[in-house]
Amino acid sequence: MLMHHAAGIRGSVSQGIRLVLLVGGIFFGGLLPAAEPGAGGTVTFVFTSDVHFGLTRGKFRGAANVESRVVGAALVEAVNGLPAAVLPDDGGLRAGRAVGPVDFVTITGDLTNRQERLPLKIQSAATSWAQFEPVFFGGLTVKNAAGRPAPLLLVPGNHDVSNAIGHPNGLLPATDATTLAQVYNRMLQPATPRTKDTYRFATDQIIYARDFGGAHCIFLTIWPDRRARAWIEEDLKKVPATTPVFLFAHDPPKGEARHFTNPNGTHDVNVRDKFENVLAEVYPDGNDGKDGTDKAQRALGAFLRAHRNVVGYFHGHSNWNEFYTWKSPDKDLELATFRADSPMKGRESGKDETKLSFQVVVYDVAAKRLTSRECLWNPTAGARPGVVAWGESVTVSIAPR
């Protein structure tokens, strides 16, 4: 995988707006020429994560303690204005052109915040979903090239799953599966829709695939654990080895130890062991979540080596804009990886609202290129709706590794 990334590098600042970084640098000893759309055309999508309905943001557009539904609505308004925005002249796909149609929008989890009882009392998943639904499903108006509404594609995060199955610290109510039931129904469209009372995390697996512009996109719960990899293995039997495959998950490729199933005792969720059981796989690296995830990462790396057309990984969970290369523990595999900011609890944007961002991703299967750009959707405090600026950008190869 050839990848140029600008992690940790910022563009210049002019009148409060960061200028876009120029791309076209060194790619492991060679120059990657500016990419042009191939004969098959390009696909454009918007990628964000961790909208955390139920939280409040300290400051936003001159107000204090702003609810997530207000911030979320502002983000949606920025997405709706994207088609007319002009992409930066950075050497990437569609550089200097209008964004144009949007093929899909995706949020990689933590749609609703954990319904914590301590130290703060956070509203239930049912209440948070009732706010999320009209903002995102009711508010998005972007359309694809055919003039049809761009689909909103969702995966759960650890907060969403914990609401359904419980958490070591205890929740109020103890469980509420509203978010998972709604995501399951909307994304998988089962013959028998689930409710918060009939949804079963152990059997109602949220994982699905969609094809856009010659690429195969797989959306999965939390992290590609053993159960998810078994599903992907069967799914990829129907996908040519030359087709680029992208994974969309909540956790980064390195995983999160406490998210695995408790390896101790009866494998339950308890305050002593602190495992959250939001993954179906028993933690393979030891008995304590502090033991790391090397074994889990090696298993993922072995799987990816067998599927060389998996060429991109998109995630949230720890939130800031980042383009980076994940390397397996034994350094025998590299994967282009993209991390999204959170509108409610971003590492940088949580303190500075002018750094709020989502990614605008353009790829061209014929040209074997993908460009992702950091879109600063609130570039000045109190920004006018629809006004965006561009931050970091990266162009990578999407040819099989």
Residue type, position 76, single letter: V
pLDDT digits (tens, 9 = 90+) for 115-130: 998 877 899 999 999 9
Total count of domains within the chain: 1
Structural domain contains residue 8: no
Is residue 320 over pLDDT 80?
Answer: yes
Over residues 152-172, mean pLDDT = 97
Strand order in the sheet with 245-248: 207-212, 215-220, 245-248, 310-315, 334-339, 322-327
Question: What CATH number is associated with residue 123?
Answer: 3.30.750.180
pLDDT digits (tens, 9 = 90+) for 47-81: 999 999 999 999 999 999 999 999 999 999 999 99
Structural domain contains residue 105: yes
Per the structure, the complete domain to which residue 182 belongs is given by: 43-352
Structural domain contains residue 382: no
Structural domain contains residue 359: no
Distance CA(241)–CA(155), nearest Å, equals: 25
Structural domain contains residue 7: no
Structural domain contains residue 365: no
Distance CA(387)–CA(379), nearest Å, equals: 8
Tell me how far the alpha carbon of residue 354 is from its chain's centroid. 20
Structural domain contains residue 149: yes
pLDDT category at 381 given cuts 50, 70, 90 is confident
Of 24-28, 132-136, 359-363, 390-394, the least confident: 24-28
pLDDT digits (tens, 9 = 90+) for 346-364: 999 999 999 999 999 999 9
pLDDT digits (tens, 9 = 90+) for 224-233: 999 999 999 9
pLDDT of residue 386: 66
pLDDT of residue 257: 97
Over residues 95-123, mean pLDDT = 94
Structural domain contains residue 33: no
pLDDT category at 18 given cuts 50, 70, 90 is very low
pLDDT of residue 366: 96
